[in-house]
Amino acid sequence: MLVEEIMKKEVITLLPNNTIKEALELLNHHHIRHIPIVNEDHNVVGIISDRDIRDAAPSTLEEKQNQDILNHNINSIMTSPVITVHPLDFIEEIASVFYEHEIACVPVTKDQQLIGIVTEKDLLYTLIQLTGIHEQSSQIEIKVPNRAGILPNITKIIGERKTNISSVFIYPDQQDRSQKIIVLRIQTMNPMPLIDELKEQGYDVLWPNIPGLRQ
């Protein structure tokens, strides 16, 4: 899945010479947490977060203290330069950007112009959708040798039972790197016949781990 499929295209922006007060009002009015800062050519030159505003704004306990701070230009507290992504980037790639840089949103640019924004909430929601957990389904986890041809063999067994697959995830076994864990979500509420068949054909089904199920 690409960034352009999940990004918000309607983006609230400010210019560097807008004030902190204007930024605060936009954050509160639109219930958002980040505002990209752009120049007249709509190039991203900075970004501001609700945390930046809280850190800069006067304490609510001191109504008369440093109120002039709110009239300062936003470029005095914005983060710059800004990490951006391209609309044709894959979402798993930008997930690593979020993690490595410990950020909560990224502007999306094309030809240096702002065209969208992706937040950690957008990314998390998309990853949840990709797991298939929002559909009525059952999860099966199988430990298999890390070699070619295993996944097609398993999906063939599932297909022969006329069962649809909602999602497939594969990750290395943390204890044995020669093994992989295949996580399947299948569109049935009764996976027991399939689990039984997988075990009969020699597959190590880790989940569901039901006592008394034939080994």
Higher confidence at residue 65 or residue 67? 67
Are 46 and 122 found together in one domain?
Answer: yes
The model's pLDDT over 17-49, given as tens digits with 9 standing for 90+, comes to: 999 999 999 999 999 999 999 999 999 999 999
Higher confidence at residue 88 or residue 215? 88
C-alpha dist (Å) from residue 71 to 21, 57, 164 = 6, 10, 58
- Both tokens of 49, joined, read 């977060």
- Grade residue 215 by pLDDT with cuts at 50, 70 and 90: very low
Are 10 and 112 found together in one domain?
Answer: yes
Please name the helix (run of DSSP H) or strand (run of DSSP E) that holds residue 159, with its range, or none.
Answer: helix 150-160
In a domain, 214, yes or no: no
Q: List residues bridging with 46 in a β-sheet.
A: 37
pLDDT of residue 211: 57
pLDDT of residue 60: 52
- Grade residue 127 by pLDDT with cuts at 50, 70 and 90: confident
Mean pLDDT value of segment 132-145: 90
Mean pLDDT value of segment 61-67: 57
In a domain, 163, yes or no: yes
Instruction: Output the pTM of the full model.
Output: 0.80
| Weakest-pLDDT range from 55-59, 70-74, 175-179 | 55-59
User: Which domain CATH number covers 13?
Assistant: 3.10.580.10
Are 32 and 91 found together in one domain?
Answer: yes
pLDDT of residue 213: 47
- Both tokens of 162, joined, read 């006329």
Are 117 and 143 found together in one domain?
Answer: no
Domain edge (last residue) among 128, 153, 187: 128
Are 141 and 63 found together in one domain?
Answer: no
Question: Which residues constitute the domain of residue 157?
Answer: 135-207
Cα dihedral sign, 11-16-17-19: positive
Are 28 and 71 found together in one domain?
Answer: yes
